[in-house]
Structure 1
Amino acid sequence: MTQNVPRVLHDMQPTIADNTAVPAGVVWRLAEAGRQLDANVLNLPPGTVVEAHAEPDLDVLMVVVAGSATMDTEDGARPLLPGAVVWLPRGSTRGFTIGTDGLTYLTVHGRRPGMQIRGAGGVRRT
């Protein structure tokens, strides 16, 4: 198959139909060679708490597919329901409390560069 041809990569319908029947963790991951994006579908069980944290380097787009959660931000709590499209700007602090029906969501962001060894002052070593 030619790499630069649009194609369907994953069917989320079974997860949308019953996310409680899907194991916790990564449901799907974008793994195509030569991509410029990273994307994941994750499923978290009811009652999970994701402590407040910040992504220092990348903006992240999050799309709620199934379930619910409360997102805690510096501006207060925000309910997340299926269909919510959430922008998580780099450097922003957020935490999540997953609802009684779990949470399944898609994240998309620019691809992280490969791990690099850097010397003092951030200078890359080869």
Structure 2
Amino acid sequence: MILVPAAVPRTAPAFQRLIDPGQRPSVLGALTVEVLPPGVHVEQRPCEEAEFVTVVLSGRLRADGRILSPGEVLHHRPGSDCRFTAVRGAPTALLTVRPVATVSPVAAGANIPSQRAGSLAVDSGARVSVDTVTFAPGDGYEPPADPGADVFLVLLSGAATVLGEDGARSLFPGDLVYVRAGERHGFRAGPRGPVTAVLGRIVATADTADTADTADTVRSVLARNELH
């Protein structure tokens, strides 16, 4: 498990490589964070090999003719670019997730539409799924180890504890946890209030992608009250 404390910079402009496959060859995805000053217009370069995902972590973003708030997600199909503008008023922090280009690419014509957090339907060819989940105080989950996918979590609000093979670690807003395929992990919200987190999953190949993403699994566990 990789823990990156204070992964989201507080000032703009800023850019950080959070998870770099060049430095960590075993990971399945590259994660970067960028903080844009209010009103700045940005065009992301296309990724020919696979889709990529943009997640709003703070501030507001104008993209695809609408305004996105923290926790909302944009999926982009292979080969596409993305133009967006940070809404005036406060800096906008963006997380970008790109799967490593070491497997068969998704078909170039695959349709991966923009999605709002909480309603993400994973395309049958997508390698990345991202969603936002709010936990009640004390709620948590501990999924079985997944040998075919990396998972990650960015805490947006509240305090929590992440459980890894080397013990428990405290999490605070802006912290990132990245769990490589096959590693066990768990998560528990703190007792003092709701906790909101971005959850993501990166599969090894498009063939292993399925329609049940990380957020769906978490919601299913919470609904069954399997963890208290």
Q: Does the alignment reach a TM-score above 0.5?
A: yes
Higher relative contact order (CA 8 A, sep 6+): 1
State whether structure 2 residue 63 is matched by structure 1 residue 11. no
Counting aligned pairs with the same residue, the percent is 29
Q: CA deviation at 1:74?
A: 1.2
User: Match for residue 118 of structure 2?
Assistant: 28
Give the Cα–Cα distance (whole angstroms) in 2 for the partners of residues 38 and 46 of structure 1. Answer: 25
**Root mean square deviation, CA, Å:** 2.9
State whether structure 2 residue 146 is matched by structure 1 residue 88. no
Give the Cα–Cα distance (whole angstroms) in 1 for the partners of residues 122 and 185 of structure 2. Answer: 29
SS for the counterpart of 2:144 is: strand
State whether structure 2 residue 49 is matched by structure 1 residue 49. no
Q: Which runs of 4+ in 1 moved over 3 A?
A: 29-36
Q: Structure 1 residues 52 and 61 mapped into 2: Cα distance closer, same or farther (>3 Å)?
A: closer
Q: Structure 1 residues 109 and 67 mapped into 2: Cα distance closer, same or farther (>3 Å)?
A: same
Give the Cα–Cα distance (whole angstroms) in 2 for the partners of residues 70 and 110 of structure 1. Answer: 22
Q: CA deviation at 1:75?
A: 0.3
User: Match for residue 98 of structure 1?
Assistant: 189
Give the Cα–Cα distance (whole angstroms) in 1 for the partners of residues 182 and 127 of structure 2. Answer: 21
Q: CA deviation at 1:98?
A: 1.1
TM-score of the aligned structures, taking structure 1 as reference length: 0.61
Give the Cα–Cα distance (whole angstroms) in 1 for the partners of residues 144 and 210 of structure 2. Answer: 22
**Residue deviations 1:72-116 (CA, integer Å, cap 9, x gap):** 11101111110001111111111222102222111223365247x
Q: Structure 1 residues 49 and 31 mapped into 2: Cα distance closer, same or farther (>3 Å)?
A: closer
Give the Cα–Cα distance (whole angstroms) in 2 for the partners of residues 28 and 73 of structure 1. Answer: 26
Give the Cα–Cα distance (whole angstroms) in 2 for the partners of residues 52 and 39 of structure 1. Answer: 16
Give the Cα–Cα distance (whole angstroms) in 2 for the partners of residues 110 and 74 of structure 1. Answer: 20
Q: CA deviation at 1:37?
A: 2.2
Kindly indicate which of the two structures has a greater share of residues assigned to strand: 1
Residues matched between the structures, number: 97
- Contact (CA 8 Å) 1:66, 1:103: kept in 2 or not? yes
For structure 1, list consecutive stretches of 5 or more residues without a partner in the other structure. Answer: 1-5, 14-26, 116-126
User: Match for residue 58 of structure 1?
Assistant: 149
